[in-house]
Amino acid sequence: MPDYTGPLPVPTPETRPFWEAAHRHELHLQRCRTCGRHHFYPRGACPHCLSADLEWQRVSGRGTLHTFTVVHRGARNYPLPSPYVLAVIELAEGPRLMSNLIGVEADPARIRIGMPVEVVFDDVTPEIALPRFRPAGPPR
Amino acid sequence: MSADQRRMRGRVAIVGAAEADEHGKLPHKSAFQLHAEAARNALADAGLHKDDVDAVFSAGLWMGSETAEYLGIRPRYVDGTQIGGCSFIAHVQHAMAAIAAGVCEVALITHGESGASRIGMPGTRFGADSFRLQFEVPFGLAGPPTGYALAAARHMHEFGTTNEQLAEVAVATRKWAILNPRAIMREPLTIDEVLASRMISWPLRLLDCCLVTDAGGAVVVTSAERARDCRAKPVYVLGTGEASTHVMVSQMPDFARWDAARLAGERAFAMAGVTHADIDVAEFYDAFTIVPIMGLEALGFCAPGEGGPFVAGQRTAPGGAFPMNTNGGGLSYTHSGMYGMFTLVEAVRQLRGECGPRQVPHARIALCHGLGGMFSAAATLIAGTEVP
């Protein structure tokens, strides 16, 4: 773990609650109290209605694979061995986020857009846990 | 679409267009030298002197004023709008607005980028605490191919687009490059060779990706009245449009549809008052083979999802029904990093009839369509030899 060479997020005041929750292995999103919608990435203004009346909510961590690529030529020193799966996940609550699909061979023939996925947290350093996703069963 | 923008049709013209003296791998030249060479050549093309220039446009933080300083110009209008590789096409629209408002008269739009050698490059990196470095880069977003692959995969999933259809774009574009003595890649290319090239980020292979070069280009825009006194035949700006929907690829509203292009294209066609059938030659930004396919759909040359079948059968190649990327494109001619400038230079040359063996016969109306960021922004220009 101390040898992690990959790029790490540097939280700012508006994103820190997300990363602190991830550190506890919980996925949290902002929800707007004015229009009721969730959004991602974290920010100080609702991108749907510009309201500043926002709250943090723990969410299910379940969603679907919206799109993906199998990266054969990754960034230098990137710690996931190539090829790896870079994915865009559509969360059950609506917002999409970039992550990785793990727990499945990095072969497009074995990966299906639309497949259900669930979050797993990867403690890459003592301070930072990255939310990655693995195939999940059908919604419970 | 406001009536005001329609009134702008034909009010300004491109009167000078040129590249830097050389391009390719140029470790002996800085990015600003490429700006300067292109500016000098474009002004000579227009028959204008640098002291005629009263507005400078270049893409990036401080870039308008830094370029002006380097060139010894003290402009009264400066624009550093940076929305990616289509910025220079957007600059034409900005210049049009400024000239029509009487704020300036002669606009110099320059581009220079040491994309391969990285000599004297202005800072372009996102900060360590930026949203991109917090929410994309830690997961292995490894530059443009990985981002574009996310859209290509979704396009294939929704519409059944194939790698063979992507390869059609690379092969057709190479055929144009073979006709352009300045193009970098001039060896004949087959669809099988594209499909056999090494995988970069599935579904994109090496030959689906553009070149990385050192290059520069510039155009000069002025009022239609002033254009009549310039050296070259004016190329009139008939329609312009720009749009921006996101910056980070994870925020792309619809991975299978290029919304910014649809919006920019609608605005440009509405202003120009021409139809798709009126376009004689098209220059589409082709950072990756998927980009012109999604651009053709977004601009309405075909329906959503039909871009793959549209480019099949070498339709965009020399002699095909839809001449596209006649300089050899970013895939085979040159790609410095912000290729949009070269769509403008080639469109001007096609409309002037200067293109020799790659000349599209009787080209009177051209379309340039640029890409910014990760399908983030788009800018469209429709230009013609006369104002219809």
Helix residue ranges per DSSP H, A2-49: 16-23
Per-residue pLDDT tens over the stretch A39-91: 999 999 999 999 999 999 999 999 999 999 999 987 777 778 889 999 999 99
Amino acid B105 reads: E
d(CA B369, CA B383): 11
| pLDDT tens digits for range B179-192 | 999 999 999 999 99
Query: Does pLDDT of B2 surpass 60?
Result: no
Token representation of residue B186: 């001039």
Whose tokens are 């490894």? That residue is: B142
Does B135 contact A9 at a Cβ distance shorter than 8 Å?
Answer: yes
Checking if the pLDDT of B257 tops 80, the result is yes
Edge-to-edge order in the sheet of strand B77-79: B77-79, B55-57, B106-114, B214-223, B12-19, B235-244, B377-384, B365-372, B281-284
Alpha-carbon distance of B52 to B65, in angstroms, equals 17
Q: How far apart are CA B248 and CA B110, in angstroms?
A: 26
Measured CA to CA, the distance from residue A99 to residue A88 in angstroms comes to 6
User: In chain A, what are the domain boundaries?
Assistant: 10-59, 60-140
Question: What pLDDT, on a 0 to 100 scale, did the predictor assign at position B359?
Answer: 98
CA dist., res. A51 & res. A39, Å (int): 12
3-state DSSP of B341-382:
HHHHHHHHHHHHCCCHHHCCCCCCEEEEEEEECCCCEEEEEE
Instruction: Determine the Cα–Cα distance for residues B155 and B374; give it in Å rounded to an integer.
Output: 15
Residue B250 with chain A: CB contacts under 8 Å? 88, 96-98
Q: Rounded mean pLDDT of chain B?
A: 96
- The residues, ordered by sequence, that sit 6+ positions from B298 with a Cβ below 8 Å of its Cβ are B257, B258, B259, B261, B262, B265, B378
Q: How far is CA B381 from CA B151, B347, B373, B375, in A?
A: 24, 10, 18, 17
Render pLDDT for B178-228 as a digit per residue (tens, 0 to 9): 999 999 999 999 999 999 999 999 999 999 999 999 999 999 999 999 999
The span from the CA of B274 to the CA of B269, in Å, is: 6
**Residues 6+ positions from A55 with CB-CB distance below 8 Å:** A30, A31, A33
Nearest CB neighbour to B146, from listed A7, A41, A86: A86
pLDDT band at B152 (very low <50, low <70, confident <90, very high): very high
3-state DSSP assignment of residue B284: strand
φ, ψ at A49 (rounded to 5°): -135, 0
Residues forming beta bridges with residue A85, ordered by sequence position: A70
Among B287, B295, B302, B350, residue whose Cα is nearest residue B323: B350
User: What domains are there in chain B, each with its CATH number?
Assistant: 3-122+209-384 (3.40.47.10)
Task: Determine contact: A74 vs chain B, CB below 8 A.
Answer: yes
The ipTM of this complex is: 0.96
Residue A2: band (very low, low, confident or very high) from pLDDT cuts 50, 70, 90: low
CA separation for the pair B280, B210 (Å, rounded): 24
- Asked if B331 reaches chain A (Cβ–Cβ under 8 Å), the answer is no
pLDDT tens digits, one per residue of B300-358 = 999 999 999 999 999 999 999 999 999 999 999 999 999 999 999 999 999 999 999 99
pLDDT digits (tens, 9 = 90+) for B81-134: 999 999 999 999 999 999 999 999 999 999 999 999 999 987 667 788 999 999
Tokens 């990363």 sit at which residue? A19
Q: Work out whether strand B106-114 and strand B77-79 pair parallel, antiparallel, or are unpaired.
A: unpaired
Is A67 in Cβ contact with B150 (below 8 Å)? yes
Any chain B CB within 8 A of the CB of A68? yes
Q: If you classify domain A60-140 with CATH, what class do you get?
A: mainly beta
Which chain A residues are closer than 8 Å to B140 by Cβ? 6, 71, 74-75, 78, 80, 84, 86, 100
Contact criterion met (CB below 8 Å) for B303 and B161 = no
CA B5-B10-B15 angle, to 5 degrees, is 125
pLDDT for B227? 98
Q: Give the integer Cα–Cα distance in Å for B343 and B197.
A: 26
Interval B285-311: pLDDT, tens = 999 999 999 999 999 999 999 999 999
Higher pLDDT, B369 or A140: B369
What pLDDT score was predicted for residue B322? 98
User: Nearest-5° angle of CA A9, CA A31, CA A18?
Assistant: 20
